[in-house]
Structure 1
Amino acid sequence: MPDMHSGMTVLVVEDEPLVRMISADALEEHGFTVIEAATADEAIQLLKTCPDVRFVFSDIRMPGSMDGMDLAHFINSTWPRIGILLTSGDTPVSPEALPDDSRFVPKPYRIEAMLAELDKVIQAKRAHGKGPG
């Protein structure tokens, strides 16, 4: 799988440092380039300065001026080419609440499940002409 994701940059947004580190390490092992943020505000600043980001993997519940769902909708309207995968252990999410072409994986998740959902985001973005080539 590393070749399939080689060169794709993903921003991991998670306020729990250990969970963020585990997710980032797993994504790097599968060929992604990873940058990290602890809040939605930090994520937006990184997105403004890192045009290579193709995907955001974000927790929904986190401190700051917006939660992960608000962040996802902001990203979708500001940078529609960026794919979004959300996660939460205590916030149920209906598919209708998600931005277009985004996905949700519940915590605790297996790394394989997270990667499978991320691949679905990649496929959806490509199908709509918005994803990485």
Structure 2
Amino acid sequence: MGQSTPTARLPVLIIEDEPILRLDAIDMVERAGFEAVETTSVEDAIGILERRTDIRIVFIDLDMPRGVRGIEIAAAIRNRWPPIEIVLTAASFAKADLDLPVRAEFYAKPILHAEVVAAMRRMAAHATG
């Protein structure tokens, strides 16, 4: 009996410090057919992006602890890794109040999974095609 090679799933880096919201994001990403790569901190996220050149989508919570400004991190990701697509989410921001990096999309919490998954699929098509 031969072994079949599973098709590679595009990894999505999830940066979310709240455990329940992180688990929800992981579930959403995996149900959509992506590989979830998770972290709770910006520092760890940078390390993952330095090691994992296959990551093309980042899902980041703008409401990060310890004074870290998620929008600045998103801009830094855009500048350092231009091919990466960015999905931003927050409960305490409105899209109109944000200066979004190029090719970043914002979704207010609570997010609608169908909207975010549709965005990730569009981004994946752009990233791989």
TM-score by length of 2: 0.85
Q: 3-state DSSP class of the match of 1:116?
A: helix
2:65 to 60, 63, 88: 63
Give the % identical residues: 31
2:20 to 7, 18, 21: 18
Residue correspondence of structure 1 range 1-133 to structure 2 within 5 A: 7-64=9-66, 66-94=68-96, 97-122=99-124, 126=126, 131-133=127-129
Deviation at 1:119, TM superposition (A): 3.2
Distance in 2 (alpha carbons) for counterparts of 1:68 and 1:132: 26
Computing the radius of gyration from Cα coordinates, the structure with the larger value is: 2
CA displacement, residues 28-56 of structure 1 (integer Å, 9 cap, x when unaligned):
11110111011211111111111111100
Contact 2:14 2:58 in 1 (8 A): yes
Structure 2: gaps (5+ residues): 1-7
What is the letter of the counterpart of residue 132 of structure 1?
A: T
Distance in 1 (alpha carbons) for counterparts of 2:99 and 2:118: 20
Deviates more, 1:114-123 or 1:52-61: 114-123
Contact 1:10 1:53 in 2 (8 A): yes
Distance in 2 (alpha carbons) for counterparts of 1:40 and 1:19: 16
Aligned pairs, how many? 123
What is the letter of the counterpart of residue 34 of structure 1?
A: A
Cα RMSD (Å): 2.1
